[in-house]
Amino acid sequence: MSRAIKKIVIAGGGTAGWMTAAALSKLMGEQLDITLVESEAIGTVGVGEATIPTLVFFHRLLGIDEAEFLAATQGTYKLGIRFENWRDLGRDYLHAFGVTGKDCWACGFQHFWLRARQLGIAGDFGEYCLERRAAEEKKFSHLPNNGLNYAFHFDASLYARYLRQFSERHGVTRLEGRIERVDLQPDSGYIRALKLDSGREVAGDFFIDCTGLRALLIEKALHTGFESWSHWLPCDSAVAVQTESVAPPVPFTRSIARESAWQWRIPLQHRVGNGLVYASDYQSDDAARAQLLDNIEGKPLIEPRLIRFQTGRRRKQWHKNCLAVGLSSGFLEPLESTSIHLIQQNIVRFLRFFPQTEIRQIEVDEFNRLADFEMERIRDFIILHYKVTERSDTDFWRHCRQMSVPDSLAAKIDMFRETGHVYREGNELFVDSWQQVMLGQGLVPERYHPLVDTMPEQELADFIRQIKAGVDNTLAGLKEHNAYLDGFLSGAMRRAG
């Protein structure tokens, strides 16, 4: 398509639509005419309220003030996810955002820890991770030079509203309306315009599909196809409910494994987000609803909402003059809070490949290759939690233990089990997280790197002790999470006033 890209049409609002609008308008607004079409009558999934640290850098890229954002979205801080009953009943661990210990040029800290553990001079692996210790002690503070890795919990609907205001300040036009038809150019098959229920036609040079699981543009109009991953990730349903807060918010998400499901608990300033992700082959909707309501704290604020999904990805996330962002590009269950990360990655990746004068197939293909790789590696990380488990108390968990997994994941598991190594390929999202989760799930390497044996035992003991002392010293200077959050927000309000 040899035509200058000036008119961008975003189909759908919600988190995906307004994140896209905010980034495009802030970073390229002077060059583009951006219109977002959404209908108040169409709800959004909107249950993804937990994030990972990459969102901090996305906000910095856009110049978003953190205190303003937290106040507007009723947000809290997040240092990781506590996995309860995933390894086995009564066995919990916390996957934190930070790096554990100190690596050397040849091998990761886990090798030193494994030998020290054998010698009885090391504690639990998590003792050497500041973020994990802070989460466990419910502490938080901003530290210089990104010394504490963190993310957020927030109200997704309030976040979309906040980004809408941000985008409109930067020139985005919002149109209210339901999309009734997608018109294609007869010669090229490119999208020409959206036809709204009002009869209005919205033409554009490039279209971004943020219509969620319906995928009105990328799938229903352009028929890119869908690759299902449900044979590896059998959960296909969720029920969600919001409840009153009964305690101060903690700086971590809870993920609680049930008989054939898992439950999330996400603390905000004003309420708690709760949900149960389950496999309908093993649990009925009524049973899932009852299980969720039996395991919440605080009074429900809304009626529980049922969500259906299929795990997998669109075969092409960019096709012709259409890009899928958010759930329209595929679905991965929110076990590791990666949904918003995938939104922002497609946005930033699109900006890097932005087709200012024409759409070049070589760039489209590379975009899709990178998007596929990232989604596959996150998929593998999520499957890991189900596959590497000691649970065998129900048919669901026995199925998970016995199921086949992607070759890429099988290789990672075998490598860690046999050698203790975890290698990052390309621009993989997770690094230290693999060690934390595999050890947390009970997978302990059979050996460590031989380089570790060149370190005298006393030197190793001093090395381990110094790392823990550094964590202890920093931890002592952190404040209680809720008190710090209140002070941070009130301080920002005083400065603004």
In angstroms, the CA 22 to CA 354 distance is 16
Concatenated DSSP letters of 175-212: EE--EEEEEE-TTT--EEEEEETTS-EEE-SEEEE--G
Q: How would residue 51 be classed by pLDDT, with cut points 50, 70 and 90?
A: very high
Domain boundaries, the chain: 7-49+155-229+312-359, 98-145+381-476, 237-308
Which residues are identified as catalytic?
Answer: 78
Residue 494 has pLDDT above 70, yes or no: no
Reported as a pLDDT band with limits 50, 70 and 90, residue 43 is: low
Check residue 491 and give its pLDDT: 73
Q: Would you place residue 74 in the very low, low, confident or very high pLDDT band (cuts 50, 70, 90)? A: very high
List, for residues 8-19, the tens digit of each pLDDT value. Answer: 999 999 999 999
Band (1; pLDDT cuts 50, 70, 90): very low
Q: Is the pLDDT of residue 291 over 50?
A: yes
Query: Which tokens belong to 130?
Result: 């500041």
Which superfamily does 7-49+155-229+312-359 belong to?
Answer: FAD/NAD(P)-binding domain (3.50.50.60)
Q: How far is the C-alpha of 180 from the C-alpha of 183, rounded, in Å?
A: 10
Residue 428, pLDDT score: 87
Mean local confidence (pLDDT), 379-404: 97
Average pLDDT, the chain: 95
Give the three-state DSSP class for 113: helix
449: pLDDT confidence band, cut at 50, 70 and 90? very high
Q: Using DSSP, state whether 361 is helix, strand or coil.
A: helix
Percent of the chain surpassing pLDDT 70:
97
Q: Compute how many other C-beta atoms are within 10 angstroms of the C-beta atom of residue 200.
A: 13
How many residues would you count in the chain? 497
Q: Give the predicted TM-score (pTM) of the model.
A: 0.96
Binning pLDDT at 50, 70 and 90, where does residue 41 land?
confident
For residue 424, what pLDDT is reported? 85
